Amino acid sequence: MKYLSLTDPESHKISFVETDGVLKDSKVTATQTKGGYENEIIHAGFVVHDRPAMEHFYKDILGFRPYWHGGMKDDREDWVSFQVPDGSEWIEFMLNVPENADQRLRGIMNHIALGVTDIHAAQEQLRKNGAPLTEEPKIGRDGKWQLNLYDPDGTRVEFMEFSPVQKPCCSEFTAPHPKP
C-alpha cells in the first residue's frame, strides 16, 4: 500500500492512501455498510484560524475545489467546504472559533460526517444499536438532513444525507454531491 502523510499550515496531519491506483484522503474516503444503511465518511470538519494559508495549501497545492460556504447567520461565513480533487467528499473549515475554545466547543467543531441515504432510518438503527442520542434529525443550513451524535470525549459524529432537500442558505453548491 502506498501512502502520503502531510501536515497542513495549522499542523493538522492528513494522510492519503492509494486505492485502486488513485491517492485519496484516508480521513474522507472510508466506506462500510452496516445495519441497512451506508456509512461513508463524506466530510471531515476541523477548526481553522488562518484561512488564507489553509486555502492556499488545500486549493492551490493539493487541488481541492470549492463546494459550499455558509454560516450560522446569513451575513457571515462560519463554514467553508472544499471537495477532494478527484471525488465528491470534502473538508470543512470551521471558522470563527476562539483560539481558547473549551473542549466542548472543539468537540463540536472538529468532527466527521457519515453519509446516509435516509436520516430517519439511520436514527432508528442508531437507537437499535443503543447509541446515546440527545438530538433529533434537523435540516442544516446547507439544506441537508443531519443528526449529531457525540462520542464519550464529546467529539461530534454527524450523520448527513448525501443531497439537500431544500435550498441552502448563504451560497449555492458548486459541485456534485457525494452518492451512496
Domains in the chain, ordered, with CATH?
Answer: 3-161 (3.10.180.10)
Tell me the residue type at 66.
P
- Give the global pTM: 0.86
CA distance 110 to 92: 9
- DSSP category for residue 98: -
CA distance 159 to 146: 5
Nearest by Cα to 12 from 59, 44, 60, 35:
44
Going residue by residue through the chain, which has 180 residues, state the pLDDT in tens, using 9 for 90 and above.
678 899 999 999 988 776 664 444 444 333 333 433 456 789 999 999 999 999 999 999 999 999 999 999 998 999 999 999 988 999 999 999 999 999 999 999 999 999 999 999 999 999 999 999 999 999 999 999 999 999 999 999 999 999 999 999 999 999 999 998
Q: Quote the radius of gyration of the chain (alpha carbons, Å).
A: 16
